[in-house]
Amino acid sequence: MIKKILFFSLIFIFSISCVNSNKTKKGDKLYVVTTTTMITDLVKNIGGDVIEVKGLMGSGVDPHLYKASEGDVSKLTNADVVFYSGLHLEGKLVDVFEKMGRNTNTVALAEVLDKRGLIGSEYFASNYDPHIWFNIKYWKEITIYLTEKLSELDPKNSLLFEKNSKAYLDKLDILENKIIQTIATLPKDKRILITAHDAFNYFGKQYGFEVIGLQGLSTATEAGVQDVQNLAKLIIEKQVKAIFIESSVPKRTIEALQEAVKAEGFDVKIGGTLYSDALGNAETNEGNYIGMFQYNVNTIVKALK
């Protein structure tokens, strides 16, 4: 009996020390795996050089359809922590995360947001629209949550994380002011944003646009002929000047919509390519969240004016 108690106590002490130890799985630096390019960018901004960050998804990659490769699984199992967006954005990765749950620390960053403010959706198993990064206020909340999590996992660097976080939140404030000023130059009746899929509902709600996505909330559903016809009618009725391609969604549906509008004798332009569910190339200004947001707003406002 005593032996048994001793055995279980040892297991208990061992598991506690595992949880609390600051030792990382690989080397000295905290090894962090991230999913979307937006999350990767944020983690790099807060973590700086003192952590190692591996992003699974690259530029132009659609998170709704993304499946984990074998290489990804080994990265995930070696990770000290996995930060992902959540609310079932990464629809095909959810199972992988759930299976890993016991051995690897996984954090869905969007879980910190108050659900009462979110846009409901029957399409996602989460029951919410997951495209939360298009409200800068939510991105600030996520920045603060991420900073807390990194500080818990790597307490010796917590002061640096705090400092980086503060600097980044200031940049987000500046971004928010800038885009509000840019949008103010577009007359209210021209604020209709039509894109390939419904990624911009939070953007529309926060910054005053009517938003319509041809493919619905997820790219996993295709737009039907009827959807195209109905949207073409609306474009003509409201005299919408431009519609937009998205970098992570094939452009054929938006081109089909443009053709349908033309067939009715009205000309709608393709206003440009927006970054919706993925950032641009890492080397470009659109390769980071702030640059992407500014670029999207400039492109939208210029084309709809």
Which residues contribute to the site for Zn ion (CB under 5 A)?
199, 277
Least gap, CB of 164 to Zn ion (angstroms): 28
Least gap, CB of 167 to Zn ion (angstroms): 29
Tokens of 258: 């443009």
Give me the DSSP letters along 41-93: HHHHHHHGGGEEEEESS-TT--TTT----HHHHHHHHH-SEEEE--TTSSTTT
* 204 three-class SS: helix
Judge contact between 304 and 192, C-beta under 8 A.
yes
Least gap, CB of 130 to Zn ion (angstroms): 7
Closer residue to Zn ion, CB minimum distance, 30 or 56: 56
Closer residue to Zn ion, CB minimum distance, 110 or 150: 110
Least gap, CB of 199 to Zn ion (angstroms): 4
Closer residue to Zn ion, CB minimum distance, 176 or 277: 277
Closer residue to Zn ion, CB minimum distance, 61 or 179: 61
Report in angstroms the alpha-carbon separations of 128 from 88, 93, 94, 224, 283: 8, 17, 15, 23, 33
Least gap, CB of 129 to Zn ion (angstroms): 9
Least gap, CB of 174 to Zn ion (angstroms): 26
Judge contact between 125 and 136, C-beta under 8 A.
no
Least gap, CB of 217 to Zn ion (angstroms): 7
Least gap, CB of 90 to Zn ion (angstroms): 10
Burial 52-67 (b: 16+ CB within 10 A, else e): bbbbbbebbbbbbebe
State the Rg of the chain over Cα. 22
Closer residue to Zn ion, CB minimum distance, 130 or 271: 130
Bridge partners, 269 (sequence order): 242
DSSP class of residue 209 equals -
Q: Are strands 51-55 and 81-84 parallel, antiparallel or unpaired?
A: unpaired
Bridge partners, 105 (sequence order): 81
Closest CA to 211 of 126, 261, 287, 274: 274
Judge contact between 197 and 231, C-beta under 8 A.
no
Residue owning tokens 């007359």: 187
Closer residue to Zn ion, CB minimum distance, 131 or 149: 131
Closer residue to Zn ion, CB minimum distance, 39 or 81: 39
Closer residue to Zn ion, CB minimum distance, 36 or 151: 36
